[in-house]
Amino acid sequence: MIFSKSKYQQKKLVELDQLIFPELKMKKDMQIVPKAFDFSLRVLELYIELLKVNEFDLSEKLLKSGTGIRTTIEDSLATVDRQERFNSIALASREAVEVRYWLKLIQMKYFISGSVLDDCVEKINEIINLLNIMSGEGSKNKELINSINFN
């Protein structure tokens, strides 16, 4: 694994994100920013694997959309307006679905050694679920949605 992190490094990343985005402290399972960052690292790893098999177009699309998810999430957390934040989270969710599409194409076309691809698929599904909870789509848990500090 190219981008492996120790437990200590993972903990420090979460602490840093919580300092920058204090509203993420409310639930352990809602730490979307560190999960999106970890996913970006895995996308970079998969990107390198795809370049080894001379897949340039698909790898570029995956890299752009895969790393863009965290950027969109961070943009949403920087907004003050509640509706704008929901719109940004919905955009991040659409980007995540697009990434899942690229990953499915890669799964159908290439055999990537190790579990890099499987790990990416698992992580993107988790991110999509969290984003859907944050945007309120398909969630019955209104307490969780209301616990997010929007102002």
Q: What span, in angstroms and rounded, lies between the C-alpha atoms of 121 and 37?
A: 15
How does residue 93 score in pLDDT terms, banded at 50, 70 and 90?
very high
Is 43 a residue whose pLDDT tops 80?
A: yes
Residue 25: burial class (beta carbons within 10 Å; 0-12, 13-18, 19+): middle
For residues 115-133, give the mean pLDDT: 91
Which amino acid belongs to residue 113? S
Which amino acid belongs to residue 125? N
| Residue 85: per-residue pLDDT | 87
Q: What span, in angstroms and rounded, lies between the C-alpha atoms of 12 and 14?
A: 5
How does residue 138 score in pLDDT terms, banded at 50, 70 and 90?
very low
% pLDDT > 90, the chain = 40
CA dihedral of residues 115, 48, 32, 19 (deg, nearest 10):
120
54-67 confidence digits (pLDDT tens): 989 999 999 999 99
Task: Mean pLDDT check: name the lowest of 49-53, 80-84, 103-107, 123-127.
Answer: 80-84
Nearest to 39 by CA among 111, 110, 129: 129
Which tokens in the block code for residue 99? 């990434």
Is 150 a residue whose pLDDT tops 90?
A: no
